[in-house]
Each structure stands twice: as C-alpha cells, then as structure tokens.
Amino acid sequence: MKKNMYLAICVAISLTVLPLCMYNSSADVKDKTVISQMSSTQTTTQPESESESNIPETTEKDSTQAEQEMICIYLSDKKETLTLPLHDYIIGVVAAEMPAAYENEALKAQAAASITLARRKMQTAGDTDELDGAVITTNSKKDQGYMSVDKMRERWGEEFDTYYEKIAAAVDEVYSYQIEYEGEPIVAAFHAISTGLTECAENVWEEKKDYLVSVESEGDKLSSTYESTLSLSGEKLEEYLNDATGFKSRGKESEWIGECEYTEAGTLVSVEICDEVFTGAALREILSLRSAAMEIDFADGEFVFTVKGYGHGVGLSQYGADYYARQGYTWQEIIAHYYPGTQLEQI
C-alpha cells in the first residue's frame, strides 16, 4: 500500500515539473534567437569604425583634401583678394567658364583642366606681392574666370539648385586628379570654340608645349556661333588702328590689305595693312573680335572680317568637349584627346 502511494506521488510530481522544464528550455532557445536577431540587426545598423568603413578610400581622401586645400585668388573686378577652399573655387570657375547646360562629362573635363591650372599656379606662384598674396586672378584672359554663389543665383534663377548640384558633382568626381606631363601639372589651356582644329601653343604664345598641339575638333563647326563677322568702313578701320598704334592709311582702300599668313588651324599669323604688319592677335584685341582666326575682304566699300571660333584656340575646346560628351566620350577620353601625351594622376 505504501509502495503504491509512493509511486502515485512520483507520477504526480513528474507531471507537474517536466512541463515547466520543457517550457523554460523552449523560452531560453527563443530568447537566444531574439537576442541573436537583435545583435545581428544592431551590427548592420551601427556606424562602422574607420578601419572597416565601406566608403571608398578615394572618397575619404577627396573629403580630406577638400577640407585642407585652400587657395588665395585675386578678384580682378573688385581689385581685392579672397581665400577659400580650392574645391569651392573650382565650382565657381566651372560655373563661370562653361555653360551649366553642357553634358556632365564635358563639365568634368572642364573641372579637371581648371583644377590642374589652379594647382600649377599654386606650385609655381613665387612672389605674389603684385597680387596681394593671391596666386591666380579671376581675369579669364590671363588665368580663368570665377563666379560667386550670389552671381550663380542671379544668373540661373530657379535653375540654381539644379545647375549648382550638377557642377558640384562634376567637381567632386575629378577633384582628386590632375593632368600631368612628365610628372608636372600641365598648362591646362582651354577656349570656347575652335576652328575645327585646335591651335599649337607656339603659334599663340611663342612657347612650345608638347601636349598643346593641334588636334581635330570637328564638332565645333556645328556651334550656332561658330562664325561671326564685322564690317567696317575704311575710315572706321583707320580710326581703330590709329588709336592703337598711330596707323596712317595711304592709297586706295581696295589696296590696303596685303599679304596674309595663316597657321594650319586657320589663325591669322600676320597681315600687311598699308605696308604695316599686324598680327592676328593684335587685330583681335584692337577690333574686339572673337578670335584671331579671321579672313579679311574688301567689298562694297567696306572691310569685312569673317571670324571663326571663339578664344585663342589652344588646348581643350569647350564646345568640342560637349560635342564629344554627346557622342558618348568620357571625361578621361576628352582630356586625352585635347591634351595628347598627358596622364591623369590621382593625388
């Protein structure tokens, strides 16, 4: 009897305790699963350490460069200096020098040329007393232009955000690069529109650069402003030339224009006017022409100057860059075309 009672008590205890143990065991597994899931979720959302960062090294480097590199520029219109981050300066340069509506790859090529020119100036500035400590001017005829954010807002109006972000993105992509030749940043010359062939540096500045040579830029001929004309009476032409050089005419107007010499790219090297020799560059300056690539004719009692292109014609053609970008060229390919023999180096 006692033995039967003992067995009954053991069975009762087993029926009570075992389910509790099973429940606790299941809960423990469940809790561990939840904790594991929570840990997994937290691990993927927590900020990673610098050593484990998925941000590309070049992007992190670019950010550091953008914070550290500063440039002092001379505002030619205000005759004062301004020190600002190089990154912001290049955005202002591209905004001033190239239409914001141009293709992205063209804007990147322009940014690469502009930052190379700026870094070269920073390395070779020497004595900057003449510019009150600045290393580069905002005179586009001497160095390269620059546009402040306020000017951008004024020019672009409602399109400001779109255009600013577009240009800033182009600058971001190329900021860590510069164009080099034999280990040095190049003279990254650029102009608006060529004649269909870019010009050799020695034909414009009497200084040869192996990477500033004549290359094809056929797309420039498609520009609506590729060709321009200026018509002047003999009296008005003499007035302009006299004011600049003391020129005095003689003989019949139809016989004033003598021998002309041209480069392969179409730039007027020299022309005889009443036996006086003028360079194409001088005539461009005196008559405020768009380029020195001109032909001079006399018809119906007037001198007609037919001008092709816009700018000095050396280096990168901005319209040509946009044309190539529309054909699918990358900014690297555009740079390689207009500056042959150069290399893009990441710094």
pLDDT digits (tens, 9 = 90+) for 13-26: 343 433 333 333 33
pTM strictly above 0.95: no
The helix/strand/coil state of 302 is strand
DSSP assignment string, 46-99:
SPPPGGG--S-HHHHHHHHHHHH-EEEEEETTTTEEEEEEHHHHHHHHHHHHS-
Cα distance between residue 275 and residue 241, in whole Å: 13
Of the candidates 98, 111, 114, the residue with the CA atom closest to the CA atom of residue 320: 98
Predicted pLDDT of residue 9 = 39
- Number of other residues whose CB lies within 10 A of the CB of residue 258: 13
Q: Which two tokens stand for residue 268?
A: 């007027």
Give me the residues of the chain with pLDDT under 70, please. 1-67, 126-128
Predicted pLDDT of residue 280 = 98
Predicted pLDDT of residue 56 = 28
E strands, 60-219, in order: 70-75, 80-85, 136-137, 177-181, 184-185, 190-191
What is the domain partition of the chain in residue ranges? 59-190+314-346, 227-308
Q: Which two tokens stand for residue 208?
A: 């040869």
Cα distance between residue 211 and residue 201, in whole Å: 9
Of the candidates 192, 140, 216, the residue with the CA atom closest to the CA atom of residue 308: 192
- 103 neighbors 326 (Cβ within 8 angstroms): yes
Predicted pLDDT of residue 36 = 31
pLDDT digits (tens, 9 = 90+) for 202-252: 999 999 999 999 999 999 999 999 999 999 999 999 999 999 999 999 999
Predicted pLDDT of residue 125 = 79
